[in-house]
Chains A and B, each alone.
Chain A
């Protein structure tokens, strides 16, 4: 069983063909990094997988359940999107925490009022997660009182509190000072070590190299190359990949 199975995604915004036949499967415990230049379609791809964008065509399956499939030349999404959404979490570049909610309410509100889980269990889960992310003393704080790194860790906790099967990251450190990037990467590394299934869109090449099971290089709306970090970072056979990576090494 694949956790995520997304095939042949096409997506255009007007005349801008952003995704040209992208496919990806992710299995349990896998950490997949998606790298590529700005405008290569990485984020759009992530947004299609997390139902923030509808695909023009393609198929999407979570946990072997069909979410979207083609009927003739028309794409049809399942009606029960609520269940599908419980399979994944998404960590945004800009955190998107709810500013009027305390850290505690940010983390526990959806488990309690969307998933309607047992309050005692939610409380235990939230306490444990906050503690593990070094936010044990921040439960009563409001997002505006936190540093960028703390905000991003809270948003990771918020996503994890939903107990997703897979966690997506959309450039989780791009809005952070270099100083604060480290603390967020450390947390993601912890999750990788705990075998969390993750897809990470990132510009942190060394990080992607270190924690990924598989790296995908996207450019111009297609997957140019994919493989282990060693294959991609050290022995790429693609000229385009080499060019891109060189820009980062300078």
Chain B
């Protein structure tokens, strides 16, 4: 296998890496907000469930969570899952794991907003929903952006954990190539590392732009 074939195959596998990354963000960013509301719910059982959920998600390895999501349904319910279950299981595991972290980040952001903002909104007659959407949420986004950036960058690297159940993404591919005969060997991992790094530089750049865009107020 030539060097350029190897790079080409990694690039192709990177599409899946990117999809895991994209789907996770699309799912976990909003779901994290739902988890936050669960934690703040007036309904105590929902609050407890959310607490336990966050605690497990943060307290156990993500690689284990991926394996549980992938292997548990067939073992427990004796169902045959569709062929793309491998990929779906990874995305589901990533979403529920990252949502737990996002929920805590959101909580920090929301709780740092001065109570005066709520009081001003209340005196002006805003309903609770309006207050959250118009007054609190935009300020929360600004306040949590640096912490969210951290998570997003970690997520890029965490996608490699999908290889634990053999999902085809870039890191799985790199492992396959490296052990195949007449391949560029360890060089494959170096190239994979460069892929991750370049992608993260782009992610950091985009997030910085986003922060700048919200710089018009303090």
Contacts and interface: CB of A to CB of B under 8 A. Distances in A.
Interface of A: 50-52, 82, 85-86, 88-90, 92, 94, 96-100, 109-110, 113-115, 142-144, 158-159, 162
Interface stretch (B38-46, B94-102, B117-125, B188-196): B117-125
Interface stretch (B47-55, B57-65, B132-140, B147-155): B132-140
Nearest to A98: B135
A86 B122 CA distance: 11
Contacts of A92: 116, 119-120
Contacts of A144: 217-218
A82 B130 CA distance: 13
Given A109-B134, A144-B218, A98 B125 contact: no
A114 B124 contact: yes
Contacts of A100: 138-139, 142, 217
Contact of A143 (B119, B122, B126, B217): B217
Contacts of A50: 123
A162 B124 CA distance: 8
B204 to A, nearest CB: 24
Contact of B124 (A94, A142, A158): A158
Interface in B150-168: none
Given A99-B139, A100-B138, A100-B142, A142 B123 contact: no
Given A50-B123, A110-B124, A98 B116 contact: no
Contacts of B83: none
A99 B125 contact: no
Contacts of A142: 216-217
30 contacts: A51-B122, A52-B119, A52-B123, A82-B125, A85-B123, A88-B123, A96-B114, A96-B117, A96-B119, A97-B120, A98-B117, A98-B120, A98-B121, A98-B135, A99-B139, A99-B217, A99-B218, A100-B138, A100-B139, A100-B142, A110-B125, A113-B130, A114-B125, A114-B126, A115-B125, A142-B216, A142-B217, A143-B217, A144-B217, A159-B123
Contacts of A86: 125
Given A85-B124, A88-B123, A162-B125, 20 more contacts: A85-B125, A89-B123, A96-B114, A96-B116, A96-B117, A96-B119, A96-B120, A98-B120, A98-B135, A99-B139, A100-B138, A109-B134, A110-B125, A114-B126, A142-B216, A142-B217, A143-B217, A144-B217, A158-B124, A159-B123
Contacts of B120: 92, 96-98
Interface of B: 114, 116-117, 119-126, 130, 134-135, 138-139, 142, 216-218
A102 to B, nearest CB: 9
Greatest chain B CB density within 10 A among A97, A113, A143, A158 is at A113
Nearest to A105: B134
Mostly, the A contact residues are loop
A52 B218 contact: no
A242 B217 CA distance: 46
A50 B122 CA distance: 10
B140 to A, nearest CB: 10
B123 A94 contact: no
Given A100-B138, A113-B130, A90 B216 contact: no
Contacts of A89: 123
A63 B151 CA distance: 53
Contacts of B130: 113-114
A147 B134 CA distance: 24
The 8 closest A-B pairs by CB, nearest first: A96-B120, A96-B116, A110-B124, A144-B218, A114-B125, A85-B125, A90-B123, A142-B217
B20 to A, nearest CB: 33
Contacts of B139: 99-100
**Residue from B125, B138, B216 with most neighbouring chain A CB atoms (10 Å):** B125
Contacts of B124: 85, 110, 114, 158, 162
B136 to A, nearest CB: 10
Nearest to A111: B124
B118 to A, nearest CB: 9
